[in-house]
Structure 1
């Protein structure tokens, strides 16, 4: 069940990132992320309200601190990620950003996670497969700006995953609400006080529901990851939850008719083989 939850988070993250990346090609990335996060916040307010109405107690502990930190770092990561995707370098950005999983994996192993040989080989295969599937363009003369943004996104995503794991150990639902409160507050402040305003077009009204739906998808992925992390080892869950570049690649092939190179096919196969080892 833990593996299925983590894989589900990758599926939803990859789908949301594909849609968000397309939107960020014509709308300023910070605006896309801000509106998306508002959609997630509205959803969490409803979920938390239902829970409170049912009389379910909120656990004591630093869920609000870890949730807020996860929201702030996640917002930074998404803005950098979408901005880099908007430059048309998806094949460069995705594998670099997905390497953010190294942060919680290292933290998990350092704090006592123990994995078997088969699981270790499976995790390594998945990481190798993601790089193969997403990275042929790395030799294609990518500019410094998208690569730098991708590295910033990787570090931010890794910190966010680590904080989400810590928050999930206390209470998942209020922690997700705190995440969205922190991210929306920071993004709206950036939107309001950015000198000269963010570069890029404004959000057309007709796109608001779609962007909010992207935010609900990102929230669902966060929830799946948090529930998986609360039940399993963060070192395993983080890698399973960071397979979204392969999902994004598949959507690009299906919906945009982007052709897969042989090395990308090999990467997808390696990723699936790694999943089989971990789940089995």
Structure 2
């Protein structure tokens, strides 16, 4: 069940990221992040309000703040890197952020089985290859640096989300959104700009925000019931989903290295699940 929840989170994350990527071609990355996070905050706040009699403020708040800051930085850097660099360079670097929660999980006492280690290594290699690594040509420094920052930020966000979800997955998500939206709201007020988003774009951004919210929730439940080192690898298969959607929906051609990566990622996930 834990493996299925983590895999489901990668499916939802990958779908959400695909449509967020399309939105980022029309609007600034920070605007897409701000609107999707803000709309998701309205949704999760309404759920928390209904369950307010069960709300406690023990354990999860600091983890949620850390996860919210890390996740926001990661998204902004990732979308900015995609808009200014080669996707074949940026995506594999960002995908390697999964190493962070694996290392932190093991350092905090987790002991994955030998077969789980095999599956995790194969899956990480598969995700990196499925992202379409650029093996030739000049590479600009700026997108590489941004993608590296995004990788570390994403990894820290997953680990902090796991720790907060052990007290409450719902409240951790609520705290994450409050943290990120508060900062982005201040930025919007200072710049006096909401990114040029029009009313007709709001429903699509709402769906993207809810998708990211749902993926976070699924991952939080999976990691809090199992090992964050294992759940983070399964949850981080989302680039495979995004890559396949790009092929099916907008006709992006999958290179041979990506096809091999998809098969390796699926194979690694199967080894972990079994």
Tell me the TM-score normalized by structure 1: 0.93
**79-88 or 149-158: which moved more?**
79-88
Specify the alignment match of 1:206 in structure 2.
200
CA contact (8 A) 2:3 2:273 kept: yes
Q: What is the aligned partner in structure 1 of residue 44 from structure 2?
A: 44
In structure 1, the residue corresponding to 2:134 is in which secondary structure? helix
Asked if 1 retains the 8 angstrom alpha-carbon contact of 2:36 and 2:205, the reply is: yes
Task: Report 1:36-75 matches (<5 A).
Answer: 36-52=36-52, 55=53, 57-75=54-72
1:222 aligns with 2:216: yes
Asked whether the 8 Å contact 1:58–1:171 carries over to 2, the reply is: no
TM-score, length of structure 2 as denominator length: 0.95
1:92 aligns with 2:86: no
The whole-number CA distance in structure 1 between the counterparts of 2:40 and 2:136 is 37
* Structure 2 contact 96–128 (Cα < 8 Å) conserved: no
CA distance in structure 1 between the aligned counterparts of 2:148 and 2:157, rounded to whole angstroms? 14
Name the count of aligned residue pairs: 274
**Which consecutive aligned stretches of 4+ in structure 1 deviate over 4 angstroms post-superposition?**
none
1:132 to 126, 129, 134: 129
Show CA shifts across 1:158-185 (max 9, x none). 1111110110111111111111100100
Task: Report the alpha carbon displacement of residue 94 of structure 1 after superposing the two structures with TM.
Answer: 1.8
Distance 1:224 1:96 in 2: 24
Moved more, 220-229 or 140-149: 140-149
Residue 74 of structure 2 aligns with which residue?
Answer: 77
Tell me which residue corresponds to 1:261: 255
Aligned-residue CA RMSD (Å) = 1.7
Q: Compute the displacement of 1:197 (Å).
A: 6.5
Q: Shift of the alpha carbon at 1:92?
A: 2.0
Determine helix, strand or coil for the equivalent of 1:139.
coil
Change (3 A) 1:197 1:41: closer
